[in-house]
Structure 1
Amino acid sequence: MTQDISFINKTKQLIDNLKSVCANYGLGNDGNEFKIITQVVLYKFLNDKFRFEVRKEDPALAAAENFTEALEKLDGEAYQFLLAGLHPNVPRLQPHQLISSLHNRQNEGDFAKTFDDTLRQISVENAEVFSVKSFSGAKDSLFDELSQFISDSSQRDAFCRALINKLFEFSFEEMFGQKYDFFATIFEYLIKDYNSDSGGKYAEYYTPHAVARIMAKIMVPEPVKKVRCYDPSAGSGTLLMSLAHQIGEDNCSIYSEDISQKSSNMLRLNLILNNLTHSIPNIIKTNTIAQPYYLDTKFDFIVSNPPFKLDFSDFRDDLEKDAFKERYFAGIPNVPKAKKESMAIYLLFIQHIMYSLSEKGRAAIVVPTGFITAQSGIEKKIRERLVYKGWLRGVVSMPSNIFASTGTNVSVLFLDKDADSEHIVLMDASKLGQTVKDGKNQRTVLTPEEEARIIETFNSKTAVEDLSVVVSKEQVKEKNYSFSAGQYFEVKIEYVDITKEEFQEKLVGFEERLKGLFAEGEKLDGEILGNLKRLKMN
C-alpha cells in the first residue's frame, strides 16, 4: 500500500511538473496542454515498459552500470535477437529513442526536431499494437509534433529539453510488476483541470474502486478462461481493469468503445500498465449508440457505468430506423424540451448491453436508483424483459455520494443469462459506508469489510435483515417488477408476553393518563374562550 501511494504521488508530481513546463512556455490552460501532457506520459510509459522488459530478458543488461550505453554497444544482429525475444505486446524502441539517450543529447543543435522525429519514429514502428482505432478503422497517431505547439520557434528547443528533463527524474519500472487498481486516482488528477460537460454533450468520470471491485467479484466468483470482456462506455477503463484482475490478464481479451479520444488515450495507458497491451487494438473511439463498432460481436462479460445525462438529440431520430429496432426493444427516450431535464441515454446503453451478451453472458451496469422502481415507461419494459427472460441475477443499491462526480443515488444491476430465477438477490447497501471529505464535497467510502460483506452476501444468496432479500421471479412480478430490496423487507412487530394482571395494570395507567389529557384540554378550551371574550376591536 505504501508503494502504491508513493507511485501515485510521484505520478502526480510528474503531471504537475509537465503542467509547469507548459505554463512557462505560454501553454498553461491552453487547448493543447492536455494533449502534450498525455502524449509525453505515454512516451514515458512506453520507454519504461521497454526498459523493464529488456532487463528481464537479458540479465547482463539488467546488471549493467549504464543501461543505455550497454544497449547502444549491441551490434545490429544482437539487438534484433534481443527484440525477437520480447513479447509481441512489448513496445519496440531503438537505443537512440530512449529518454536517457535524448537527455544525453539535449545540448545538440535543433533539439526540438530530434525530439519530434524520435516520437514520430516510435509512433510508426509501434502503430500496429499501440494505436487506437476509430469507427472508420483509421488508426490514430501516437504522437503529434509537440514542439509545434510553441508558436515562437526560438523557444522550441528549450521547451523540449524541459520536457525531457522532467521525464528523466524518475522511473515507472519498479511498478510494472504490480496491478494498478488505483489508476483511477491518476486519471482523475490528470483530467480534473480539463474536464467539462461540453454543454451536456460529454463529460468524463471514473468509477470508485470499491464499486468496480464489487462488480468484478460478484460477476466472476469462480475461475474462467479465454473470455471476451467489454465496456461500451469505457472511460479510462477502471471497470475493465478490475474485471481483468479478477479473471486474470492472460485469460481475457478487453474490448471497449467510447466517444472520447481523451478517455481512449487514458485507457491505452491503463492497458500498458496492466499487462493488457494485447487488447489495445480492440479500443475503439466511436459513438457506441449511433455508430457501434462491435454491433455483431457478443461478449461473455460486460461492465458499464454509462452516462446518465448526455445530449443525444443530434442522432436520436436515426435510432428509429429498422436497423436499430431489435437492439432498442423497449424504446428510445424522447429528448426533453428543457435542457435541464434528464437525458435518459443510459436506457439505450442498458438495451445495447442486453443485445451484446453472449449465450451465457453476464453483465454489471451502474444505473440511477430511480431505474429500479419506475412505475412505467422504458425502465419498466426493460425490467419486465429481464425477469421474463430469467436474466436478472440481482441488484445492489449503493450508498449516497459514493461517486465523487455525481450526487445521484446509484444501484448496480447484475445480469446473467444463466441466472437462478428462484433466488434473485436484492440488496440495500445504502446505510453502509463512511463519509469523508473530498475537496469541497463529501463522499461515502466503503470499508474493505463492507465490500467483503456485500460480495459474500450476494454470492451466497443470503437474506440478511435490513440488508438483503432473496426473492423469486414470481415475487418480483407481484411487486410490479420492482428491484428495490426495501419493498420486500418484512415489517416486524415485536410481541412481549405479559400476564393478565400486568395487562390490566397497563390499561388502568393508559386510562388515567388519557383522563388527565382530556381534563387539561377542557381547561385550555375555557382559557381560550375567556381570552376571546376580552378581546376588543380597535
Structure 2
Amino acid sequence: MQLQSEKQIIYSLIDDLKAICSNYGLGNSGNEYKIITETFLYKFLNDKFLAGIKELPDFTGKSTKECEQQLSDMSEDDFEFLMMDLDPRVARIRPEDSISSLFSRKGEEGFHTTFDNALLHIAEGNKEVFSVAAGAQNRVRLFDTLSNLVTEVERQDDFCRAIINKLNAQSFDAVFQQKYDFYADIFEYLIKDYNKDSGQYAEYYTPHSIAQIIARIIAPEGAQNVSIYDPAAGSGTLVLTLAEQIGEENCTVYTQDISQKSNEVLRLNLILNNLVDSLSHVIQDDTLVRPRHLAEDGKSIEKFDYIVSNPPFNTDFSETRDQLAGEGYKKRFFAGVPNIPKKKKESMAIYQMFLQHIIVSMKEGKGKAAIVVPTGFLTAATGIPYKIRQHIVKKKLLRGVVSMPSNIFANTGTNVSVVFLDAAGTEDEKVLLVDASNMGEKVKLEGTKNQRTYLSKEEMEQIVTTMNERQEIDDFSVLVSLKDIEQKKCSFSAGQYFKVKIEYVDLTPEEFQQKMADYEQQLKTYFAEGHKLEEEILKGIGELKYE
C-alpha cells in the first residue's frame, strides 16, 4: 500500500508538470517531452544526491533541511573533499544548484536564467559519468536550457517558478530502495504520451509484460559477469528488464540507436534503475552504417553474451541502402539488403538488416539472442527472410519461437513473434515452436479506435514455463527437429507442425445405418430446396422477358 502511495505522488508530479507545459502553450508540442523528462530527472538526481549525503558519517541522522544547510556552509574545498566519499553513481549537485536553493530565490528578477544555469552547471559537473555518446566524438549532456522553449519572454520567469514550486513540494526519499518493477511503472507512466512512432528508427516501446517473458526465457537462472546488447534500443525496456532478471551487478548494458529522443529517454531509464555505469556504453548513431561497439582491434563487430531487440520493422533507409550492399558490409549482411520499392520507400524491411547484425554480434558457441520480428518472417518462402532462416537452421542457432497475439504492441497492428537463438545449440537438435496467438484479452485503448491485447499473469507464466521446460501441448507448442524444419522450407511457424487429430467413434451397425439414413434425409431436403430455388429463379427470368 505504501508503494502505491509513493507511485501516486510521483504520478501526480508528472501530471502537474504536464499541466504547466499546457498552461504555457507547450502542451503536446515537440518540446513537452524534453521539459517533462529533464525536470523529472533533475528532481530525481537532486533527491538521490541528498539521500546519498545522508549516508555519509557527518550527516547520519540529520534531516534534509539540516543536511542542505551544512552543505551550504561548506567551503568549496571541503565540498570537493566530501564528494570523494560519495557513491560515484550519484550525480554531484552544488548547494547553489539544488532545488531548495532555487526555491528560495524564485522571487528574483531573471529567475529563468538562474534556473537554466543550475541545469547547465549540473550537466557540466557530471559530464564524465552522465553524458552519452553521439557518433564517434560528441557527447550529449545531461541537461539543456528549458526557459527558452517558452516563446513569450515575459513569461519565462513564471514558467520556471511554476516548475520549481512543484519540484520542491514533494520528496523522492522513500523510493530509492525500490527495484526495477517499481521504476518500470514510473517510467511507463512518464513516457506514455511520448513513445509514438515518429522517428526514423526505434521510437518503439516494448510492453513490460513482453520484456519480462523474453528475459525469463533467455536467462531463466540469471548469469554472472555478462554483456547485454540492443542495437535498436529505443527506450531500453528490453535490456533493462533482462538486466533486472540477471542482476544489475552481474551485467553491463550496451546500446545503440539513431534517435536522439530515444537515447535521452533510455538514459533516464538507466539512471532510474541505478545502471549509471552503463551510460558510457549508450551510443547515438546509425547501427547499420556505423556500429560503434567494436572489438579490441577497433574494426570487427563486438560479440555479446545476450542480445535482445525489438527493431523497427519497416523504414526508409534508401539513402544508405547501396552503401550497406557494398563489399565492406557483405560479411555482416550475409543474406542481402532489401531493394528500394518504387512507390513506397517507407516499407523497406529494415528489421531484416538488424536481424543479420544481431546474428553476427552473438558470441561464438555461447551467445543468446531474442528478437521481435513480424510473424510473416517465419514462413516467407523466398528472399532475404528465407535466406536468414536457412542460415539460422544451418548454423543450429535456433532455440525456439513464440508467436504472440495480434495487437500486443500499442503502436503496431502487425502480428509479431519472438525468435530465440542460442549459439550453443540444443543437445537433441530439436527446437520448441509456440503458438500463443489466441491468448490475451483485447481492450480498446482510451480515446482511440485501436485495440491492445493484454496477457494475464497465468498466460505469461504458461509461455515461459512451456519454453523453458520444452513442453509439448496440443495446438499450443510442438518440438520439431532441425531436419524437419529444413524439409518444410525452414518454416518457423508452429501451426505447420501440429499433428492433425482424427476422432474415431465406435458405432454399432444399427447406429451406423441410422446415421446414414439421417444424412440421406438431409441431402434430400437440400436437393428439394435447391430445385425450388431454381424454379423461382427461372420463373423470375421469364417474367422479366415478358415485361
* TM-score, normalized by the shorter chain, greater than 0.5: yes
Amino acid at match of 1:506: K
Show the counterpart of 1:343: 348
Q: CA deviation at 1:339?
A: 2.1
Separation of aligned partners in 1, 2:540 and 2:76: 110
**Does the residue aligned with 2:461 lie in a helix, a strand or coil?**
helix
Show the counterpart of 1:321: 326
Alignment of 1:44-193 (within 5 A): 44-58=43-57, 60-64=59-63, 66=65, 67-74=67-74, 79-80=79-80, 82-181=82-181, 190-191=190-191
**Does the residue aligned with 1:498 lie in a helix, a strand or coil?**
coil
Show the counterpart of 1:255: 254
Which one of the candidate residues 416, 422, 442 is aligned to 1:435? 442
**Does the residue aligned with 1:267 lie in a helix, a strand or coil?**
helix
Please say if residues 45 and 269 of structure 1, whose CA atoms lie closer than 8 Å, have aligned partners that are also in contact.
no
Please say if residues 50 and 64 of structure 2, whose CA atoms lie closer than 8 Å, have aligned partners that are also in contact.
no
Given the superposition, is the C-alpha separation of residues 531 and 106 from structure 1 closer, same or farther in structure 2, using an over 3 Å criterion?
closer
Please say if residues 394 and 424 of structure 1, whose CA atoms lie closer than 8 Å, have aligned partners that are also in contact.
yes
Separation of aligned partners in 2, 1:5 and 1:374: 46
Show the counterpart of 2:430: 423
Please say if residues 327 and 352 of structure 1, whose CA atoms lie closer than 8 Å, have aligned partners that are also in contact.
yes
Question: What's the TM-score once normalised by structure 2's chain length?
Answer: 0.90
Q: CA deviation at 1:46?
A: 1.3
Question: What's the TM-score once normalised by structure 1's chain length?
Answer: 0.92
Alignment of 1:288-299 (within 5 A): 288-295=287-294, 296-299=301-304
Please say if residues 195 and 205 of structure 2, whose CA atoms lie closer than 8 Å, have aligned partners that are also in contact.
no
Please say if residues 64 and 70 of structure 1, whose CA atoms lie closer than 8 Å, have aligned partners that are also in contact.
no
What 5-or-longer segments of structure 2 have no aligned partner?
A: 295-300
Separation of aligned partners in 2, 1:178 and 1:389: 42
**Does the residue aligned with 2:546 lie in a helix, a strand or coil?**
coil
Q: CA deviation at 1:51?
A: 1.9
Please say if residues 435 and 444 of structure 1, whose CA atoms lie closer than 8 Å, have aligned partners that are also in contact.
yes
Q: CA deviation at 1:259?
A: 1.1
Please say if residues 214 and 451 of structure 1, whose CA atoms lie closer than 8 Å, have aligned partners that are also in contact.
yes
% same residue: 54
What 5-or-longer segments of structure 1 have no aligned partner?
A: none
Separation of aligned partners in 1, 2:32 and 2:537: 75
Separation of aligned partners in 1, 2:225 and 2:480: 33
Show the counterpart of 1:312: 317
User: Residue deviations 1:18-70, cap 9 Å, x none?
Assistant: 33333444444554443333222221221122122223344844432624224
Please say if residues 202 and 232 of structure 2, whose CA atoms lie closer than 8 Å, have aligned partners that are also in contact.
no
Show the counterpart of 1:361: 367
- Range 297-306 or range 336-345, more displaced: 336-345
Which one of the candidate residues 371, 376, 379 is aligned to 2:385? 379
Q: CA deviation at 1:533?
A: 7.1
Separation of aligned partners in 2, 1:71 and 1:28: 37
Please say if residues 429 and 467 of structure 1, whose CA atoms lie closer than 8 Å, have aligned partners that are also in contact.
yes
Which one of the candidate residues 368, 392, 405 is aligned to 1:399? 405
Separation of aligned partners in 1, 2:331 and 2:24: 53
Q: CA deviation at 1:530?
A: 7.4
Show the counterpart of 2:394: 388
User: Residue deviations 1:488-511, cap 9 Å, x none?
Assistant: 011101111223343344334444
Please say if residues 99 and 167 of structure 1, whose CA atoms lie closer than 8 Å, have aligned partners that are also in contact.
yes
Separation of aligned partners in 2, 1:374 and 1:109: 66
Given the superposition, is the C-alpha separation of residues 343 and 58 from structure 1 closer, same or farther in structure 2, using an over 3 Å criterion?
farther
- Range 442-451 or range 186-195, more displaced: 186-195
User: Residue deviations 1:245-304, cap 9 Å, x none?
Assistant: 100000000010111111111111111111111101111011111221114211110110
User: Residue deviations 1:182-238, cap 9 Å, x none?
Assistant: 65665565556556655x734622101111001000000123111010111111111
Separation of aligned partners in 1, 2:308 and 2:420: 9
Show the counterpart of 2:230: 231
**Does the residue aligned with 1:159 lie in a helix, a strand or coil?**
helix
Please say if residues 196 and 204 of structure 2, whose CA atoms lie closer than 8 Å, have aligned partners that are also in contact.
no
Please say if residues 131 and 140 of structure 1, whose CA atoms lie closer than 8 Å, have aligned partners that are also in contact.
yes
Two-structure CA RMSD over aligned residues (Å): 2.7
Q: CA deviation at 1:120?
A: 1.8
Please say if residues 195 and 203 of structure 1, whose CA atoms lie closer than 8 Å, have aligned partners that are also in contact.
no
**Does the residue aligned with 1:299 lie in a helix, a strand or coil?**
coil
Separation of aligned partners in 1, 2:361 and 2:496: 31
> Is residue 454 of structure 2 the alignment partner of residue 448 of structure 1?
no
Show the counterpart of 2:268: 269
Given the superposition, is the C-alpha separation of residues 520 and 52 from structure 1 closer, same or farther in structure 2, using an over 3 Å criterion?
same
- Range 87-96 or range 281-290, more displaced: 87-96
